[in-house]
Amino acid sequence: MKILLAIDDSAFSEAAIQALIAQAPPKSSEVRMLHVIEPLPAIYGGSEWGYVMDWQAVTREQRKQAEALMTRAAQTLRDAGFQFTTAVEEGTPKAVILDAAAKWPADLIMIGSHGRRAVERFLLGSVSEAVARHAPCSVQIVRAAKH
């Protein structure tokens, strides 16, 4: 089974990783782990506002954090006996995840849910909901246990 595991640096993604380990047999699962770096907002930070943003430095830091996340998650999967590939891409998360699942093609997308409700989901959007609605394959949305 080809499983696309979409992760960010949250407890919800950690729950998705643990669900994958608990549910998928390592020997018959092909896993592609994906993290999406969202593009920086296109706003002007000119000197009349009192600052100048170094966008390249911010992007380098985002990529550095993404690589560290993937290294930690990769070790967890490796320790559980999985063979996998990793990818860090830039773009809108829901679009990149859907595109990756279609191109590969994945049999299953596993993704954590932040559990946003009503107004918060309307304002911030829900990546997991959009992926579930538009995916070319099955989707498993994993919620983190409440503490």
The CATH topology of domain 2-143 is Rossmann fold (3.40.50)
Whether the per-residue pLDDT at 20 is higher than 80: the answer is yes
**For residue 123, what pLDDT band results from cuts at 50, 70 and 90?**
very low
Q: How far apart are CA 128 and CA 34, in angstroms?
A: 14
pTM of the model: 0.85
User: Residue 80 in 3-state DSSP?
Assistant: coil
Q: pLDDT value at position 49?
A: 53
Q: pLDDT value at position 34?
A: 98
Task: Report pLDDT digits (tens) over 135-145.
Answer: 999 999 998 77
Q: What does the block give as tokens for 112?
A: 């954590």
Query: Which residues are CB-neighbours of 90 under 8 A, at least 6 positions away?
Result: 36, 37, 38, 39, 96
The one-letter amino acid code at 82 reads F
Domain positions in the chain are 2-143
Average pLDDT score over residue span 24-47? 83
Residues of the chain with pLDDT > 90, as a percent, come to 69
Q: What is the pLDDT of the chain when averaged over all its residues?
A: 87
Q: pLDDT value at position 144?
A: 77
Residue bearing the bigger pLDDT, 39 or 93 = 93
